[in-house]
Amino acid sequence: MHKTLLTALLAAGLSTAATAQKSALGAAKPYSAAGRQVQVYTTASGTPQRLAAGSKLTFQQVGQPLETQPTVFVDPTHTFQTLLGIGGALTDASAETFAKLPKALQQEFLQAYFSPSNGIGYTLARTNIASCDFSSGSYTYVQDNDKELKTFSVKHDEQYRIPFIKQAIQAAGGKLPLYVSPWSPPAWMKDNNSLLQGGKLKPEFRQAWANHYVKFIQAYEKLGMPVWGLTVQNEPMAKQKWESCIFTAEEERDFVKNFLGPTLKKGGMGGKKLIGWDHNRDLMFQRASTLFDDPEASQYYWGLGFHWYETWTGSAMQFDNLRRVHETYPEKNLVFTEGCVENFQLAKVQDWTLGERYGNSMINDFNAGTVAWTDWNVLLDETGGPNHVGNFCYAPVIGDTRSGKLIYTNSYYYIGHFSKFIRPGAKRVAVTSSRDVLQATAFLNTDGKVAVVVMNQTEKEQPFQLWIKGQAAQTTSPAHSIMTMVVN
C-alpha cells in the first residue's frame, strides 16, 4: 500500500477513535469562575469552629500560578464517577442506644444525621442480617435445622432496630437507600457449628442460605424498609471471636454464580445491587479478579465493597489497591462499606485524630473512584457498645445513657464536610494540589455548585489559592483542619 495512503488511513482511524472516545465521555462544558463567590465552611482543632460558615471569597483573574504560590487546582469540566450517597450503619447497638435516649435527644440525633439543612444529610444506610458483634447477643431468624426456612421471622428486630431504621428513613425525607450484610449463617449451616470463630458454610446448605437473603429482604420490605442492595458476606477472610464466616475468593465466586445470583434473580431481586468482598483493601484486587474475571459470576456483581482495617497489620491505608481495582474493572462500582476507630476510651472522644482518619480515607477513596461511602455504627453508648464480645469502638456520635447527653466527636463534623455539601448525583471533578500538606477532592453537584474539600493534617496553617481556569480565590487552611469550599 502507498505510504501516504496508509498514513492518511491511520490518521483517519485515530481521529475517529478519538472522536468516539470524546463523544462517549461527553463533551466538556465550558466553566468560568469569574463573578462567582465561594462560601467556606471550616472545622479546626483548637477553635470552636465546627462546620462553621466563614466570610465569602471572591475570584480574581490571576493566570499562571508560580511555584511559590501554594495552589489547589480544580477543573469542573473533567468529570468522573457519580456519587450515590454517604451514610452509616444502623446496627442493633445503635438502635438500642437510641432507645435509651430521652425523646428530645432522639429527635436531635435524627436531625443531626439525616437533615440536609439542620444536620449532615446522610443519604445511605447499611444494616446487619441477623446478629453481629454490635448486637447485645447472638441471634438468628430461623430454628435449628429448618432447611426450608419455614420458621423464618425478623421478630427479634422489631423491638429496637426496625423502629430505629423507620425513624431514620422518615428523618431523611422518606427515602434512605439501605443495603444489608450477613455476618454469619445460622450455626447449623456451618462446619464449625457456631455463629462465631469463622467456620464455613456447608455445601448442602448453600441453597438454603441463598434463600435466606431473599427472605430477609422480603421481610424488611414488607415492613416498609426498601432494600437497595446487599453484600455477600461481611469480612469473608476474618476468623473473628464474633459472628463470622470464611469464603475464599473462589468459594464466594461459586456461591454467587451457582446459588445467590440465580436465587435473587428468580425471587425478582435481580435489580438489587450485589456487592462482593466487603473486607479490607489489602486483598481486594485478588478478590476482584477472581469474581469479575469469571463472566458467569461477574454478571451478578454490581460492585466491590471495602473496609479500612488493613491497618491492623501495621500497614497504612492501601489506596493504591483501590486504584488498581478501579482501573482494571472500571465498569464495577467501589463502595466503602465499613470503617471505625477501634479500642474505645471515653476519655479520648475528643481526640482530633479520630476525624482526620475519616478525612484522609474519604478524600483518597473518592479520588480513587469510590461511588458511595458508609461509616460503621452511627451511634454507640458511653462504653463504645453495646457489643457482646467486648469489641468496643468509637462512633461519630456517642449517646451517654447515664447523663442523657449526646457527644459529637470531630468525626461527625469531618464526615459532614462531605455528606452535607456533596449530594447524590454529584460528579467528582479533577482536582490537584501543589502542596502535599493540602489533601483535596472536589465534586460538581446537580445544582451546578462545586464543593471542594481541603484537609490539612499538619501543625501549621497553610495559605493557598483555589484556582479554577485562570481565576483564583485566596484563603488559608488552618492547622489540623478540614474545609469545604462551595463555589456558587
List the catalytic residues. 235, 338
Asked if 163 and 225 touch (Cβ cutoff 8 Å), the reply is no
> How buried is 381 (Cβ within 10 angstroms: 0-12 exposed, 13-18 middle, 19+ buried)?
buried
Q: For residues 57 and 46, what is the distance between their CA atoms, to the nearest angstrom?
A: 23
State how far Cα 190 lies from the chain centre.
30
In whole angstroms, give the CA distance from residue 38 to residue 34.
Answer: 11
Compute CA distances 464 → 64, 172, 440, 461, 476, whole Å.
14, 36, 12, 10, 6
Name 105's Cβ contacts closer than 8 Å, sequence gap at least 6.
Answer: 399, 404, 405, 406
Please report, for residues 254, 351, 382, 394, the alpha-carbon distance to residue 347 in angstroms, rounded to integers and kept in the order given: 47, 9, 10, 11
The amino acid present at 194, given as its one-letter code, is S
Give phi and psi for 306, each to the nearest 5. -145, 155
> What DSSP state is assigned to residue 339?
-
Q: Which residues pair with residue 304 across a beta bridge?
A: 276, 334
The C-alpha atoms of residue 177 and residue 221 are separated, in whole angstroms, by 12
HSE toward the beta carbon, residue 51, CA cutoff 13 A:
22
Rounded CA separation 2/164 (Å): 75
In Å, what is the CA distance from 441 to each residue of 88, 246, 375? 20, 35, 18
Q: Residue 434 burial by CB count (10 A; 0-12/13-18/19+): exposed, middle or buried?
A: middle
Q: Quote the cell numbers at residue 300.
A: 451478578
Amino acid, res. 3? K
- Beta-carbon count within 10 A of 273 CB: 18
What's the alpha-carbon Rg for the chain, to the nearest Å? Answer: 24
Amino acid (1-letter code) at residue 469: K
**Which DSSP string corresponds to 409-467?**
-HHHHHHHHHHTTS-TT-EEEEEEESSTT-EEEEEE-TTS-EEEEEEE-SSS-EEEEEE
Cell 467556606 locates to 40
- Is residue 100 within 8 A of residue 157, CB to CB? The reply is no
Yes or no: say if 133 and 387 are a contact pair by the CB < 8 Å rule: yes
